[in-house]
Chains A and B, each alone.
Chain A
Amino acid sequence: MGRITLQGIGKIFGHDPARAMDLMAQGKSKAEIAALCGAVVGLRDVAVEVPEGEILVLMGLSGSGKSTLLRCMNRLVEPSCGRIVVDGTDVTALSRRDLLAFRQKMFGMVFQHFALLPNRTILGNVGFGLEIKKVPAAQARERAMRAIELVGLKGWEAKYPNELSGGMQQRAGLARALAADAEILLMDEAFSALDPLIRRDMQAELRELQKTLKKTIVFVSHDLDEAIALGGRIVLMKDGEVVQAGRPEEIVAAPATEYVARFVAHIDRVAVLRAGQVADGTAPVLSPTQTAAEARAVLAGRGGEAWLVAGPDDRFAGRLPAVRLAAARPDETLASLLDRDPGTVEAGAGLAGLLGRVAAEGVLAVVDTEGRLVGSLTSRDVVLALSARPGAGGSVPGGHEAAISSEPAGAERWTGQSPNSPSTRSATRASIGSPTMAAG
């Protein structure tokens, strides 16, 4: 329960929405519409889908329409056009009375500045939603107390909001949203007013709570680090439109526009990127049935600490240390020379946890869930990934390409080409070749 579907949502603020809608249909920009008829385009043709039990983070600069979109979901802001469906109910079609009942049942909201009533105790505040729902007092009290315990505020229920720190007040705000047993939590910059340490705690805690509660959460933030910490999908907005949607690592690895690139520029890429996105798929791969002599011929003097060996179907066989290859008799097959430690990592593994291993082992083999070799991962690949300029057209979405490493600083940008096209791949080879070669 709690799936949200938004289709073609538009919102015009101002006197003459009909005229502005016309202009919008003609494809005029937000600035043009403002100049022509004075109306502000809050949202424009937004389509968003939030699967139940997931966290969706709405991001964008100030004024990009995040709050407006969030408030369209429970119709605190009335959309000018479009359809909102929550769990099969067409919210846009509800009468006012039904809408109130629907809000009581489905939505809990957490606010940037907590929005706790100063004249009520924490218990009174947390029970607010239940009181609105006309839940009998004794039961409401019990449910509010449960929510208070859930957010770790037990013992504080008789205090007033101004007796609590900001972090605790926001816990109370969260408890109020949870107490009403709503299936969807709408959180508008819920942690933005907290100081950084508390903020990180709250992010971790929300994530922890979410594991058991499995609510559908829509979280507005203009902090990509927060979005990453919450671990949800991201919808990036600009001027009321969605510019990119996807998982944080996808967005960081392949920003769709300059705007997105600026947004992710400062981001700690190590924390976001995954092994599969960084791995170099162009490094030479040897076959276990080859002999040492054949292998030396293939490598033709390239340097490197180790080579990756994979059988048919890219099935990864093991690592071949360069020293062993050098010492081997020419007719020995590679299968007998492989390192006992295969040195594999899953393509989905976070880069942050691999830095030590990359440094210690020199070459790691990145494999997918079926054990097929995706590419090699060397310290050079890591450095290239971290230094890659975001926004360059050459980044490849998805993890099975040597995406980031193929775009070192100073290399020419590829423009107007699908990153997956064959010419791109050959360009990759031509411009940098294999990292292991360069390392030697």
Chain B
Amino acid sequence: MAVPPWIVIAVAALATWKIGGRRVGLLTLFGLLFLWNLRLWQATVETLVLVILATAAALVIGIPVGIWFALSRRAWRIFSPVLDMMQTLPSFVYLIPALPFFGLGAVSACFATIVFSVPPVIRLTALGIRNVPAELVEASDAFGGSSAQKLFKVQLPLALPTIMAGVNQTMMLALSMVVIAAMIGAGGLGRVVWQSIQRLEAGAGFEAGIGIVILAVILDRATQALAARARPHGTA
């Protein structure tokens, strides 16, 4: 890595502090320092990059689809069962279709991760928009707002807390999938775990496992803090 770890750690700690307050900031600081200390820095960064890329892609796909599902009763009726099925299938099933297209490696892993982690953000975006009180939507119509104005000034801002909860879930699913995707060649902490299992190195596997937990807690807290900030003023 070109950037020295301590700079990355400092920036990450500051960023999470800003988002989620001192506790989350300190958690990030010590968590990442611990991982660096375990010589897992390289693997951690690889995992993080994969998770962030996959989550970003899932959001780019999932939020518009969620909006579509919210606004079209028909689409919702047709595709809601598909989402249900996607979430009930065991995660490694998604590894299989990725292989013939992308072969072994990070691309396949990323693809499988996106497919696996996209349902929550779709579902919660749709839910958030549908749950905007009818009176507020009507207010926009009554003042002559166009569909786009209604969406961007009323529906999306009010659905934001719910959408952020979806982002949180999607990110957690992405992390869990990135670990499993080590089986088809994703790098990172998952690969360390996978290799230790194959070589029966319980200690190394345990360390990497802890690393994944730490990463999960940091990502969870940070996105939850983001979701809390999206909530309208004064509501719990």
Contacts and interface: CB of A to CB of B under 8 A. Distances in A.
Interface of A: 74, 76, 100-105, 107-109, 111-113, 115, 117-119, 128-129, 131-133, 160, 162-163, 176, 180, 186
Nearest to A102: B144
A132 B233 contact: no
Interface stretch (B5-13, B51-59, B86-94, B152-160): B152-160
Contacts of B157: 117, 119
B138 A111 contact: yes
Contacts of B149: 132
Contact of B235 (A100, A162, A176): A162
10 contacts: A103-B142, A103-B143, A107-B144, A108-B143, A111-B135, A117-B139, A117-B157, A118-B234, A128-B139, A186-B142
Contact of A104 (B133, B136, B143, B232): B143
A133 B146 CA distance: 10
**On chain B, which size bracket covers the interface?**
20 to 34
A157 to B, nearest CB: 14
Interface in B152-195: 153-154, 157-158, 160
B158 A117 contact: yes
Contacts of A113: 133, 135
A102 B154 CA distance: 20
B80 interface: no
Contact of B144 (A115, A133, A176, A186): A133
Given A128-B143, A132-B149, 14 more contacts: A76-B138, A100-B146, A103-B141, A103-B144, A104-B144, A107-B142, A115-B133, A117-B136, A118-B233, A118-B235, A119-B160, A131-B153, A132-B143, A160-B234
Nearest to B234: A162
A117 B158 CA distance: 8
A163 B234 contact: yes
Contacts of B143: 103-104, 107-109, 128-129, 132, 176, 180
A189 to B, nearest CB: 11
B105 interface: no
Contacts of A101: 144
B233 A162 contact: yes
A115 B146 contact: no
Chain A binding site: helix, strand, loop or mixed by DSSP?
Answer: mixed
A104 B143 CA distance: 5
Contacts of A117: 136, 139, 154, 157-158
A100 B136 contact: no
- Central interface residue in A74, A119, A180, by most chain B CB within 10 Å: A119
B145 A115 contact: no
- Central interface residue in B139, B143, B144, B234, by most chain A CB within 10 Å: B143
B140 interface: yes
A100 B144 contact: yes
B58 to A, nearest CB: 25
B77 to A, nearest CB: 17
A111 B139 contact: yes
A131 B136 CA distance: 15
Given A101-B144, A162-B234, A115 B158 contact: no
Interface in B108-161: 133, 135-136, 138-146, 149, 153-154, 157-158, 160
B139 A115 contact: yes
A108 B144 CA distance: 9
- Central interface residue in A103, A111, A115, A186, by most chain B CB within 10 Å: A115
Given A119-B158, A160-B232, A100 B145 contact: yes
A119 B232 contact: yes
Contacts of A105: 144
Contact of A115 (B135, B153, B233): B135
Nearest to B158: A119
Contacts of A102: 144
B232 A132 contact: no
Nearest to B135: A115
Given A115-B133, A132-B145, A132-B149, A160 B139 contact: no
A177 to B, nearest CB: 8
Contacts of B133: 113, 115
Interface string B224-236: 0000000011110
B194 to A, nearest CB: 45
A186 B133 CA distance: 19
Contacts of B154: 117
Nearest to A75: B141
Nearest to A103: B144
